Structure 1
Amino acid sequence: MSITVEVGLLSGRSATVKADVDEDVGALKRRAESALGVGSGRLVDSSGGVLDVCSRIRRTRLQDGDSLSLHVRRVQIQGNMAAFAAIPGDGSVVTWGRAHWGGDSSAVQDHLNNVQQIQACSGDIFGGAFAAILDDGSVVTWGHPSCGGDSSAVQHQLHNVQQIQATGSAFAAILAAGAVVTWGHPAAGGDSSSVQHQLKNVQQIQASKGDAGRAFAAILGDGSVVTWGYPSCGGDSSAVQHQLKNVQQIQATGNAFAAILGDGSVVTWGGSQFGGDSSSVQDQLKNVQQVQATRFAFAAILDDGSVVTWGHPDSGGDSSAVQHQLKNVQQIQATGSAFAAILAAGAVVTWGHPAAGGDSSSVQHQLKNVQRIQASGDAFAAILDDGSVMTWGHPDSGGDSSAVQHQLKNVQQIQATGSAFAAILAAGSVVTWGHPAAGGNSSSVPHQLKNVQQVQAIGGAFAAILGDGSVITWGYPDSGGDTSSVQGQLSNQLAVQLPCLRANSKKQASRSSQKKSLQVFNRWAAVFRRIVFVRWFL
């Protein structure tokens, strides 16, 4: 006997699926996933109950014509400079890329169960690391020990962890009680012992930017700030501590911080060449709404839409040449050394290092009705309202898209490595350009890049998540661009089917054991009956 049910996604899309009542729910689920073209998920009935994939359909009391919901579990991917870590639908973790950056998690694989989120430490030339928060609030780390890959010294403190932030070589975890636990390179923020007594009721933590980042800044519940890490890189805020009151948010360059206070003013500290000294523009920093940063400079948007900049002049700290154009600014994006501001009218104004995207004069007449901008290390890519794309900056970093310009239509979103871009089109295909080895050339996998849902990027490679939950990568092979060694694990569907297969195996083993026990019992029972009969006869 078979039944037909309607299985729908949260988006409203649905499919009609047929199954025999003697089949497992897992079979019904897999047919629904296939029909809907999505990855693995959970079947939920009309009352909100999750159906056990290992149960027979007849035992679930499903009726012909019933409606079910399929809650899809999306693959989550995090990356640092040279490795990726993915959470498939079953809460396990799959890693690939360079081992010293966390591409090899075999040493802790048995502990990586029910993972909720992963934070990446970008690392340095020696390595990087990952930290995973499990559903019980504990943490598992791997990668280069000196970059946070070894948390054994503080493991007993890592309970009820809510979130984790990272500098270039250290981690800081906020616990449920508002305390903070740190580990990794001591000089990069891995040692907070000097301020540990102050780290109470912590609301959020900001880390200095990129692989050069060496300090943390924590905002407490009362709006004050506590800092630690390398002193000249923002780890020492003592000179401005009396000003750090009612702090709303903090932004960071490579080695400096900028805090926006409740009254809209800004307080800065850290390396002066990185924007840690805003004294030259302090009288202008009023009613600040948001702050954006390159590696060496800050740009603040005021409530009237104007912009104030400071920091290294060649990296965007000096906007005097375009100051008259910076009106009604809506948002700002940054490469490593340049800024690009989108105005209310959809035009774009750029400044900073010309080769890093600070000079958009060659495409200025085409930069109209810009919706959003993405940045690589030294180039910008703007999506216009008609779905086309305009690029500028260093050609080898994605600043020249002329070779693929005819393909860049109906672009939905763009991601970037350090030197390349990847655009997802409305049809789910992907177009890439920039440095070939850093992900700008996806010719080895174009036939696989279909129904792409999102793309994640690290320094030299891309990872695309498809609609069925599988992952396709390209770029530097040993930096995350090659998943051949773990491709079998990157199957969202398989990951969820396995528990049921194991359960069925256990059931079969149990039935087999019960059958053998019954056979033994019957043999002994027969012997006993013979003995009783003989005694009675005698």
Structure 2
Amino acid sequence: MPPVLTAVAALQRSVSQLRESFALNVIEGSLLTATATLNADLHEEVAALKLRARAALGVGAGRLVDSSAFPLDANSTIQGAGIQNGDSLTLHICRVQIQASRAAFAAILGDGRVVTWGAAHCGGDSSAVQDQLQNVQHIQASYGAFAAILGDGSVVTWGDAGGGGDSSSVQHQLKDVQQIQASQNAFAAILSDGSVVTWGSARSGGDSSAVQDQLKNVQQIQATREGAFAAILSDGSVATWGDAEYGGDSSAVQDQLKNVQQIQASDSAFSAILGDGSVVTWGDEDCGGDSGAVQDQLKNVKQIQAAAAAFAAILNDGSVVTWGAAHCGGDSSAVQDQLQNVQHIQASYGAFAAILGDGSVVTWGGCGGGDSRAVQDQLKNVHQIQATAGAFAAVLGNGSVVTWGAAGMGGDSGAVQDQLTNPQQIQAAQASQNAAAFAAILGDESVVTWGSVRSGGDSSTVQDQLKKVQQIQVSQGAFAAILHDGSVVTWGAADFGADSSAVRDQLQTDRSDEEPLRWG
């Protein structure tokens, strides 16, 4: 996460004047980067003071708090806010953060407010709770809803009511929330005391009543896309709930789930790595929930990667063990002798790509990029790989990119190959089963896109705006780029959140209308 910018205002008041002189500083990390001075009348509103402070310091929106870190009421006057002589005020400036559901986006602005756009039924319309969305710290998304954690630990939800957008039945329990996990249509919140509160579709894990007495001292939660949750408790045991067929029922392996270190999820099954390096699996047997055929090989497991219906485990010796649906990468026998000294594995919907110690790549799976023979001679000195559901993009040590898989899924970057130099980050969007795209942020902070036009593979309409891009977030069919100044540029399929025109003014940080002040 980028460093938080903090503006500190040291307050001094002259007894002979009803005005206050502020020495304003901008601190990035531990470095003082700018200073400014301004005068403020005691009857000036806090909101006006904050705007002038932003202009003086050249920063975006932020939270103005007192010396106790309590947010000041923007509608109050300086005097009414109880600011005393010698107090220090702090303007906390945070980078814009964006989260996406299937077809909508939610942006947390620097001052903790939230702006949403995209399909209303997927959370693109937050008007019903807009007045509650203040001092937002984090947002989590399900398929069609959002859940925001506020500064006081409470939660605000909106979007598809049946998919977690309505938390009214548990609202009184949502206090001191530390983190939230989501399945396709439900949410699970971990509270500060280690207990868990769930809501949304009961079948998707929104009802945890059957295991509520077990949900104590929860450390982390994982979820299958189809609708089950698995919580690791502080003693290393696991509690599961949700759709039994898709991982919500672990009773058959419960006695084995001890000293669990981490859990990985496919679309409908779980795999847990135990402290001794062995693995326990459960859920849909055809999608990785049954590892019986390779159980004796699953020893000294270091990490596990999941495709939609299969798993691939890297062992301490660099070899790989796979299981699950063969057509989704669960059978690696054709390349088993090549899978030596494996450093990292990436997965598409139905295939895997492994980076070896020498920088070469081995692929397998029945679809979605499992066959890389057409570009195999180019796959040398590979540093990282990104994937859509049906294609892969590999970044080489020299800063070039090699792609393979379905062309309509981003597997063909030929049209932009000469532009793909020195990518810093690659993101992927998936509009449908047969349409996907990639977007790469280059070293000069510009963006190059390729793949399905419907998924955002063509950014030509906003290309001149894609400068100084810091981060990109994706829905299933659209991209949202956060620029250096905190403004946002979107493109892709309009019905997936690519059209942010209705909130464009809120997503800009133009300060031209604010009073310019002399630098101190």
Please give the TM-score of this superposition, normalised by the length of structure 1.
0.82
- Which residue of the partner structure matches residue 472 of structure 1? 489
- Which residue of the partner structure matches residue 462 of structure 1? 479
Counterpart CA distance in 1 for 2:132 and 2:62 is 23
- The answer to whether 1:438 aligns with 2:455 is yes
Higher helix share: 1
- Which residue of the partner structure matches residue 80 of structure 1? 101
Give 1:21 deviation, angstroms.
Answer: 5.3
- Which residue of the partner structure matches residue 365 of structure 1? 377
Give 1:31 deviation, angstroms.
Answer: 4.4
> Which residue among 392, 396, 402 is the counterpart of 2:408?
396
- Which residue of the partner structure matches residue 287 of structure 1? 300
Contact 2:24 2:53 (C-alpha < 8 Å) held by counterparts: no
- Which residue of the partner structure matches residue 10 of structure 1? 29
Counterpart CA distance in 2 for 1:5 and 1:95 is 32
Contact 1:381 1:399 (C-alpha < 8 Å) held by counterparts: yes
Contact 1:42 1:50 (C-alpha < 8 Å) held by counterparts: no
Counterpart CA distance in 2 for 1:492 and 1:217 is 41
Aligned amino acid, residue 359 of structure 1: D
Counterpart CA distance in 2 for 1:455 and 1:264 is 35
Aligned pairs for 1:356-435 within 5 A? 356-418=368-430, 419-435=436-452
Aligned amino acid, residue 29 of structure 1: R
Highest Rg: 1 or 2? 1
- The answer to whether 1:117 aligns with 2:142 is no
Please identify, of 326-335 and 260-269, the stretch whose mean Cα deviation from structure 2 is larger. Answer: 326-335
Question: SS in structure 2 opposite 1:178?
Answer: coil
- Which residue of the partner structure matches residue 249 of structure 1? 262
Counterpart CA distance in 2 for 1:165 and 1:475 is 27
Give 1:10 deviation, angstroms.
Answer: 3.2
Once the two structures are superposed, residues 254-312 of structure 1 have per-residue CA deviations (whole angstroms, 9 ceiling, x without a partner) of 11000000000000001111100000000000000110000000000000111100000
- Which residue of the partner structure matches residue 242 of structure 2? 229
Percent identical: 63
Question: SS in structure 2 opposite 1:368?
Answer: coil
After superposition, the Cα gap between the structure-2 partners of 1:450 and 1:350, relative to the gap in structure 1 and judged at 3 Å, is same
- Which residue of the partner structure matches residue 522 of structure 1? none
Aligned amino acid, residue 188 of structure 1: S
Question: SS in structure 2 opposite 1:195?
Answer: helix
- Which residue of the partner structure matches residue 327 of structure 1? 340
Instruction: Provide structure 2 residue ranges, at least 5 long, that are not aligned to the other structure.
Output: 1-20, 42-48, 431-435, 516-520
Counterpart CA distance in 2 for 1:26 and 1:473 is 27
Counterpart CA distance in 1 for 2:480 and 2:343 is 30
Counterpart CA distance in 2 for 1:225 and 1:456 is 32
Contact 1:8 1:69 (C-alpha < 8 Å) held by counterparts: no
Counterpart CA distance in 2 for 1:346 and 1:238 is 42
Once the two structures are superposed, residues 166-218 of structure 1 have per-residue CA deviations (whole angstroms, 9 ceiling, x without a partner) of 11111111111111111111111111111111111111111003xxx210011
Aligned amino acid, residue 29 of structure 2: L
Counterpart CA distance in 2 for 1:475 and 1:452 is 17
Question: SS in structure 1 opposite 2:502?
Answer: coil
Contact 2:138 2:150 (C-alpha < 8 Å) held by counterparts: yes
Contact 2:92 2:111 (C-alpha < 8 Å) held by counterparts: no
Instruction: Provide structure 1 residue ranges, at least 5 long, that are not aligned to the other structure.
Output: 63-67, 123-127, 499-538
Give 1:353 deviation, angstroms.
Answer: 2.3
The alignment's C-alpha RMSD in Å is 2.9
> Which residue among 505, 508, 511 is the counterpart of 1:488?
505
After superposition, the Cα gap between the structure-2 partners of 1:471 and 1:360, relative to the gap in structure 1 and judged at 3 Å, is same
Counterpart CA distance in 2 for 1:70 and 1:109 is 22
Aligned residues: 474
- The answer to whether 1:202 aligns with 2:218 is yes
